[in-house]
């Protein structure tokens, strides 16, 4: 896995080393800034940003983590992602957050916010109700909830969020989305210039530092990648799919076995940036945010109808010319378990193999997981021949 060094890429990746209280987040707070946690892409970061606050994505650690303390509060039927988030919160590692915006996106996410608020007394918590259905009625309802968030942020932090600020934030976050789309386009190449694990590191850093600092770095990294002449090779091309995955180590493990991870279907990956707000224009910025979040571009597995999502996965597999999909089914993630059958067979009928891998959040490619992934990669590489 020898590759040419890309300076900006290394600089961004460095941000993750101090997770969760990253150096940029610390610097922000030391200057008197406030940080608002969220852990679901149905919270529009623009709304937090327009209030002059730092949106910070709460996740579990991107490596295996014992969650014994969280088990006491959330029981093992809650997925390990949610329990990992709460384990860090219980350990005081998210104490730097000044508020937390939760959603009703799934059972685990909703209960995490409620339990967090009940036992750890975060200064401000609000749960945003996110409809599961994609239609105008649901978008309007969701827009109403965003209005409540706006009001609550204004009251709690004594700030004013006006339309002008919102439009500026939307523009800034759309810039990130456009840059990631550009980066993902580069991954379509026969010999892409960047590993999937590196991309995951870039995505992780995006939600852990001020966006004004991040975008120029990402732009620089993309330019450097273009100029570097890096051309990666692998035995086969793979897409990684899951509900949530920010574990760069896992992807690195897959890549060490000879596969090239060229794209993904995770909410911390392609689904995070896929649909630009600019494709959902309206006169009202909150409506734009609602339309984007409940758009048909690349929906979450929870979304109804499931057809938009299935079509996106099939199209993505085709466009990125993947030979196989590693579907990481995190135990107790009901939305993903119940969504997978909706597209798995269809993908296989098109000649794309799917490895249904039952794992816990933060798992590494070792032991039985390694054996299964290795066999899958070998099988795909033989098919490619």
Partner 1 sequence: MKVTEIDLTAYDKCIVALEKIREHRMSTGPIVKGEELYYTLLIQLFREVRQAWDEGKPFFLYEMSVPAELFVGMGVPAMEYDMICGSMTTLLRAHEAVYGAALKIGVREEICSAQRTPIGILAKGWFPKPAGIVYTNLDQCDNCAQSANILGEIYDVPTYFLNRPMRWWSERGVKMMTGEFEDAVAFLEERTGRKMDWNKLKEAIAISVEQVKLIREIHELIMAKPCPVRARAASFAHWIRWSYAGRQEGLDYFRAFRDEVKALADQGKGAVPNERFRLMSLFTPPQNQMKMLDWLEHDKGVALVAEPYYFRVGPWDMDPSKPLESLARQYYHESYYRFYSQMEEYLDMIVQDAKESGAQAALNWFNSKCRMGGAMSKIVKDTLAEKVGIPTLTVDVDLLDPSPASEKRTKERIEGFLESISIGAAGTASAA
Contact segment (CB under 8 A) with partner 1 among 35-43, 171-179, 207-215, 329-337 equals 329-337
From 342, 370, 372, 374, residue interacting with partner 1 (rule: CB under 8 A)? 342
81 or 96, CB closer to partner 1?
A: 81
4 or 133, CB closer to partner 1?
A: 133
Contacts of 351 (CB under 8 A, 6+ apart): none
167 binds partner 1 (CB under 8 A): no
145 binds partner 1 (CB under 8 A): yes
140 or 319, CB closer to partner 1?
A: 140
The closest of 321, 182, 138 to 238, measured between CA atoms, is: 321
101 binds partner 1 (CB under 8 A): no
Site size toward partner 1, by CB under 8 A = 50
Contact 300, 333 (CB under 8 A): no
Cα dihedral 203, 209, 211, 213, rounded to 10, equals -110
Cα angle: 156, vertex 162, 166; to 5 degrees:
100
Contact 85, 112 (CB under 8 A): yes
36 or 130, CB closer to partner 1?
A: 130
Nearest-angstrom CA–CA distance, 234 and 83: 35
Phi, psi of 53 (to 5 degrees): -110, 160
Contact set for partner 1, span 109-138 (CB under 8 A): 110-112, 114-115, 118-119, 127, 129, 131-133, 137-138
From 344, 353, 355, 362, residue interacting with partner 1 (rule: CB under 8 A)? 344
Exposure on the CB side of residue 240, measured as CA atoms within 13 A? 29
47 or 109, CB closer to partner 1?
A: 109
Locus of tokens 């940003």: 49
104 binds partner 1 (CB under 8 A): yes
289 binds partner 1 (CB under 8 A): no
Distance of CA 248 to the CA centre of its chain: 12
6 or 112, CB closer to partner 1?
A: 112
The closest of 3, 41, 9 to 269, measured between CA atoms, is: 41
From 20, 196, 335, 362, residue interacting with partner 1 (rule: CB under 8 A)? 335
301 or 362, CB closer to partner 1?
A: 301
Contact segment (CB under 8 A) with partner 1 among 163-171, 187-195, 251-259, 327-335 equals 327-335
Burial of 269 by CB count in 10 Å (0-12 exposed, 13-18 middle, 19+ buried)? buried
Least Cβ distance, residue 349 to partner 1 (angstroms): 11
368 binds partner 1 (CB under 8 A): no
Nearest-angstrom CA–CA distance, 238 and 321: 9
Contact 321, 188 (CB under 8 A): yes
From 58, 339, 361, 369, residue interacting with partner 1 (rule: CB under 8 A)? 339
Contact set for partner 1, span 39-98 (CB under 8 A): 72-79
Contact 236, 258 (CB under 8 A): yes
14 or 119, CB closer to partner 1?
A: 119
Angle between helices 107-120 and 80-90 (to 10 degrees): 20
Nearest-angstrom CA–CA distance, 265 and 282: 28
From 341, 348, 366, 368, residue interacting with partner 1 (rule: CB under 8 A)? 341
305 binds partner 1 (CB under 8 A): yes
Least Cβ distance, residue 128 to partner 1 (angstroms): 9
Cα of first residue to Cα of last residue in the chain, in angstroms, is 22
337 binds partner 1 (CB under 8 A): yes
Contact segment (CB under 8 A) with partner 1 among 218-226, 248-256, 279-287, 337-345 equals 337-345
Distance of CA 5 to the CA centre of its chain: 25
108 binds partner 1 (CB under 8 A): yes
374 binds partner 1 (CB under 8 A): no
Cα angle: 106, vertex 108, 109; to 5 degrees:
70
Contact 237, 297 (CB under 8 A): no
**For binding to partner 1 (CB under 8 A), which residues are involved?**
72-79, 104, 106-108, 110-112, 114-115, 118-119, 127, 129, 131-133, 137-138, 140-141, 144-145, 301-302, 304-306, 329, 331-332, 334-335, 337-342, 344-345, 356, 358
């Amino acid at each position: 896995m020898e590759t040419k060094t890309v300076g900006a890429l290394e600089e961004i990746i460095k941000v993750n080393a101090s997770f969760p209280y990253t150096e940029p987040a610390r610097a922000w707070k030391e200057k008197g800034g406030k940080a608002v946690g969220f852990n679901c892409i149905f919270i529009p970061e623009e709304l937090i940003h327009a209030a002059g606050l730092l949106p910070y994505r709460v996740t579990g650690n991107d490596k295996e983590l014992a969650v014994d303390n969280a088990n006491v509060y959330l029981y093992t039927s809650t997925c390990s992602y949610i329990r990992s988030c709460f384990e860090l919160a219980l350990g005081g590692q998210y104490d730097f957050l000044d508020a937390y915006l939760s959603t009703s996106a799934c059972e685990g996410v909703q209960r995490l916010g409620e339990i967090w608020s009940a036992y750890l007394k975060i200064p401000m918590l609000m749960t945003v109700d996110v409809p599961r259905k994609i239609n105008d009625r649901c978008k309007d309802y969701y827009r109403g909830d965003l209005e409540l968030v706006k009001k609550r942020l204004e009251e709690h932090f004594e700030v004013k969020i006006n339309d002008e600020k919102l439009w500026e934030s939307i523009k800034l976050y759309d810039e990130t989305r456009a840059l990631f789309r550009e980066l993902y386009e580069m991954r379509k190449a026969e010999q892409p210039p960047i590993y999937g694990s590196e991309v995951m590191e870039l995505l992780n850093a995006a939600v852990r530092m001020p966006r004004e600092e991040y975008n120029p770095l990402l732009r620089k990294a993309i330019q450097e990648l273009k100029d570097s002449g890096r051309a990666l090779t692998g035995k086969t091309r793979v897409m990684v799919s899951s509900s949530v995955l920010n574990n760069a180590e896992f992807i690195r493990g897959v890549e060490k076995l000879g596969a090239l991870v060229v794209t993904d279907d995770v909410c911390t990956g392609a689904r995070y940036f896929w649909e630009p707000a600019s494709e959902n224009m309206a006169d009202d910025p909150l409506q734009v945010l609602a339309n984007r979040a409940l758009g048909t571009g690349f929906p979450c597995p929870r979304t109804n109808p499931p057809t938009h999502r299935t079509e996106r996965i099939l199209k993505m597999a085709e466009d990125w010319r993947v030979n196989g999909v590693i579907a990481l089914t995190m135990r107790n993630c009901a939305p993903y378990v119940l969504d997978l059958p909706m597209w798995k067979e269809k993908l296989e009928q098109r000649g794309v193999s799917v490895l249904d891998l039952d794992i816990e959040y933060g798992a590494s490619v070792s032991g039985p997981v390694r054996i299964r992934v290795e066999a899958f990669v070998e099988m795909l590489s033989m098919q490619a021949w």
